Structure formats: structure tokens, C-alpha cells
Amino acid sequence: MRQNGERRFDVAFSHMSPDNVHILYRLLRPCVDLARSGDPGGGTTVVTLSREGNMVRKTLLTSVLVVSALNIACTSFGPKKVVSSHTAYNESVQLTVTREVLTNIVRSRYLDPMQFLSVSAINTQFSVSVDGSAVVGGVGQSGAAGDIGGSIGYSDSPTITFVPQSDNAFYKSLNSSFEISEVIAFDQQYRFSQSHPEIQALSLAMSFASINGADDFVAGDLNQEYWQRIEAIVQLLRLGASFRVTPEWDFDTLSIPRNLITAEDKIEAFKSNVYFVEEDGGNTVRMAKYRLVLAFSVPGKDDPEVVTALGQMGVRPGRERYVFRPPFHATPGFSDPHAIWVTARSMMDIINLTSYFVNVPDEHKAIVPALASTSGLSPFTSKINIRSSREEPAFPYKVKHRGYWFYIDDTEIASRVFLEAMVAAYSSRVGSMQAGEEGQPQVVIPVGGG
């Protein structure tokens, strides 16, 4: 259209952000007579141009391309930035937790106090900046020239919160025994255990401190009877034994004549998840709770190899099912010869036992306690090493303590397998306990902010 002898025309852009509208206006300023934005047709920006010549068309075309590129960048670079940042933070936290576990294993060997510091929160704020420019000279004249450009930038401002895990809830979890189902499930699900009996044996040894009255160490030395129990379980697994979750009644009262129990008594007991279980042909009942227990299902109970292994495990042969029982299942004055009585370890106990694998430098032999040999624990233990060196190693899992580097050699697969298991055990049990709920201090660090 023409107005006052000038050629004018409108250009419409749909669904542009306010920032990009501003950039477009700056790019077209040399040839813009009127710019207005509104919503005449579903989020449309209308720009009215009032100059003539090829430079207007070139400027317009280039401006559209630049703004379109910026618009695309806002919708594509953002998600990519989230993905890359998430991966980077994930790898950093993984390395931090692994080194922390390794540090406390070394501290345990040196009898130095342990300390755990968790990364409780990572808050990050993304910001985007866009800019554009245009210079046009000689509009309406021959030889018109100009320059046009645009830019987009991203910045990431993370804030990381560290929490010292030193409250009552954390140490209670650190020193509490694992549930039997936890350690057995971990032993069986761990991908190397089934195909490597020596790893299975070590995993069981790291899980239980006592099996049917045989403790792991006696007077500071490895108890051979305890290790015989471990080997018997591994042998039964080789012969086809398996773990099964089965129900049973948890009896905790004396027998009561059935005729003394009323309907009201049964209703009140049911409200507390307690049942009356009949005994002695229905003449007496006992109150009991329903519970699930972990049992060892043994095939071929009369098989000579099975009978021998059951005897070595400390139970009476002849049954197809043997229940693993913690100490609190025991009843005073009653002994069950078909039960596998076990004491599960705590995470603190596992860390202390793992300190046996720390290679102490000769320079430090005088400041660390002497430990019993673990050569009889499992053939696998000779392959596990937390090595030490004055020089910083080139491997990722390394920590510095008392002037020496302690590390896991990447070429020693057994050591890496064991460290992976340690980190998984820690994370599954203790790593989920968040300190700070009882007023513990928190350290908040704005990264890059000094």
C-alpha cells in the first residue's frame, strides 16, 4: 500500500515470544515506520515497513531468519541443557559417594573417626540471554549496504547443599543389623554371585557375623567352624537349594483353654492383627501373629551330599525346609534343631571388616593395629586390594589419607566388584537416611559464587 507517496507493507509473525518481538524490532529499526503487537489472529505480531529498495527485503529476510533461529534455540537448547547437566551432576554424586565410602574404609583401618557428608540437594537455575543487531546504510540509494546479527547464551547457577550425617537416626541405621531378607536378597540378586561360588561365599561372610552359634572370629582369629557353615550353604546352593519366603505363626503366649475364649475376645484380637490358633485337637488355643520368614528349601533331603552339608551347617538333616531366624525369634527354654540361627551384620561392622583389605604402607605399620589373616575366609579375598601409593594414581576411585593415596586399581576386577557391592549396600541402607531433621547443620555452597 502507499501512504503520502511512500510504499508501505505489513508483515505478520505468529506465536513469537515478547523477547523475540523486541529483537525483531531492533533488527528492523532502520526500515520500520510503525511496529505494534497484539492478538488479531491468535498471537500475531504485525510489523509495518516504510522504506523502499532491495535492502529492505534483504534486511527483512535476514531478520526473520535470525529471530526464527533464536526462537528455535529457546525450545531446543533448553531441554538439551537439562539432559547434559543432569548427567554431569549424576556422575559427580556417584563419584562423591564412592570416594566417601572408600575414605571411611581407610579411616576404619587407621582407627580414625568416620564422617559422612551427604549431598542432600542440588538446586540449579538456568537463564537465557538473547541479543540481535542490524546496521543499514544508504537505504533507497544504489550500493546500499548493511550488517545484521544475533546471539543467544545460556548460564547455569547451581547451589549445592551438604549435610553432615551425624544425628541419632543416621548412627542408629549405621549400627543396626540388616534384616535377613535384605542380605539374602542382595546376595542372590548380585549378578556375580550365582556364577562365582567364591564371591557367594564372601558375600555371605560379609552378611552374617554368626551362623548357628559359630562366630566369625574367636580370640581375634578366623573361626574355622564359622567358615565351614558358609561353605555348607554354598554347597547346598550348588546342589539346587533355594531361598523361599514362607508364612508362619508367631506364637508369643501360653496355651489357653478354648472354652474361655469369647466372640468379643476374637474381635478385639483381630483388630490388633492377632489370631487364636487351635492346638491339641482344638481343645486349646494360642494367640499368634501372622508373619513371613525366609527359609532354605533343600532338594533331596536324603541325598548323602545334602545330609553332610546340613550337618556342617549345624542343623539336623531330614527336612526340606530350614528357616533363617534372627536372635529375637528365640524362645527361652526352647531349641529348634531345624532352624538356621544367624546374626546379620550392621553397615558399620561391614565397613570395619572391609578395612582388612587396605594395604597399609610400611611407614604406617606402627600406627595401625595388627589384624588376623583373612586368607582362609575365601579364595576371592586374595584378589581384593585397596592399594596405597605416595604418587597420585590415574584411577577414579582414590582418596588421600595421612599423606598417601588409597585407591582401587581399574585392572583388578575383583576389587572393583567388591567396592561396587559396598557402595550399593551403603546406599540401600544408610545412604537413604537424611540427616538434618533434628536441627543438624547444613552447608550451602553457591557454585562459582566464591
| Higher-confidence position of 5 and 179 | 179
Share of the chain above pLDDT 90, in %: 25
Burial 303-318 (b: 16+ CB within 10 A, else e): eeebeebbebbbbebe
The whole-chain average pLDDT of the chain stands at: 75
pLDDT confidence band for 189 (50 / 70 / 90) = low
Q: Which of the given ranges, 30-34, 37-41, 57-61, 327-331, has the highest pLDDT on average?
A: 327-331
As given in the structure block, the three cell numbers for residue 442 are: 547444613
pLDDT confidence band for 435 (50 / 70 / 90) = very low
What is the distance of C-alpha 241 from the center of its chain?
31
112 has a pLDDT exceeding 90: yes
Mean pLDDT on 170-174: 83
- Lowest mean pLDDT segment, chosen from 140-144, 179-183, 284-288, 390-394: 140-144
Mean pLDDT on 104-120: 89
288 has a pLDDT exceeding 60: yes
Please give the pLDDT value at position 376: 57
286 has a pLDDT exceeding 60: yes
As given in the structure block, the three cell numbers for residue 200 are: 557367594
Cα–Cα dist 120/163, whole Å: 6
Burial of 8 (0-12, 13-18, 19+ CB in 10 A): middle
pLDDT confidence band for 53 (50 / 70 / 90) = very low
pLDDT confidence band for 192 (50 / 70 / 90) = low
**210 near 346, Cβ under 8 Å?**
no
- 2 sits in the region (left: phi over 0; alpha: psi -120 to 50; else beta) called beta
Strand-strand pairing, 9-14 and 32-37: unpaired
Phi, psi (deg, nearest 5) at residue 194? -65, -35
- Lowest mean pLDDT segment, chosen from 19-33, 100-114, 353-367, 419-433: 19-33
60 has a pLDDT exceeding 60: no
Please give the pLDDT value at position 113: 92
5 has a pLDDT exceeding 90: no
What does each C-alpha distance from 291 to 17, 192, 248, 405 come to in angstroms? 61, 31, 6, 49
140 has a pLDDT exceeding 70: no
pLDDT confidence band for 449 (50 / 70 / 90) = very low
Please give the pLDDT value at position 166: 72
- Lowest mean pLDDT segment, chosen from 37-41, 184-188, 234-238: 37-41
Domains of the chain: which residue ranges?
A: 179-348
Cα–Cα dist 279/342, whole Å: 29
- Lowest mean pLDDT segment, chosen from 50-54, 225-229, 235-239, 364-368: 50-54
pLDDT digits (tens, 9 = 90+) for 74-89: 555 556 666 667 788 8
pLDDT confidence band for 23 (50 / 70 / 90) = low
Please give the pLDDT value at position 424: 85
Rounded to the nearest 5 percent, the helix, strand and coil shares of the chain are: 40, 30, 30
Mean pLDDT on 350-359: 92
pLDDT digits (tens, 9 = 90+) for 254-264: 788 888 888 88
448 has a pLDDT exceeding 60: no
pLDDT digits (tens, 9 = 90+) for 384-434: 899 999 999 999 999 999 999 999 999 998 899 889 888 888 887 765 544
Which amino acid is present at 64?
V
